[in-house]
Amino acid sequence: MYCEIVYQVTGERWGIFPRDTGEFQARMSIPDSINNSDSHDTIIKKSVKIEIMSCSFTPDEKSKRHREALAGLVDKLVKAGWEQIPEGGPEWYNIRFHK
């Protein structure tokens, strides 16, 4: 069984500086098959909500809040018995695990 951490936009906040709200999600992944990223039954665990400038589109590795949200999710997965594997995905937060 494998999972990978992805980022999902969950809403938006309007104002002078519009922001997207989102969360990191650990999703089940099945090697060599199509994984429906919109299916909620593939979500194992979620991070706390984070905000991103709407023009950025992706979490910032330099943001302390983004790193802490990711670290919190990684900690939840490890405590649930998931083991991190060395290979990761294309984004800095695409950490993969197996159980």
What tens digit of pLDDT does each residue of 26-81 get? 999 765 544 445 455 688 999 999 998 767 778 999 999 999 999 999 999 999 99
pLDDT at 30: 66
Write out the E strands in the chain.
Answer: 2-13, 19-29, 43-46, 50-53, 83-85, 96-98
Nearest Cα to Cα of residue 26 among 57, 62, 63, 69: 69
pLDDT at 54: 63
Using the predicted structure, report yes or no on whether residue 13 has a pLDDT greater than 70: yes
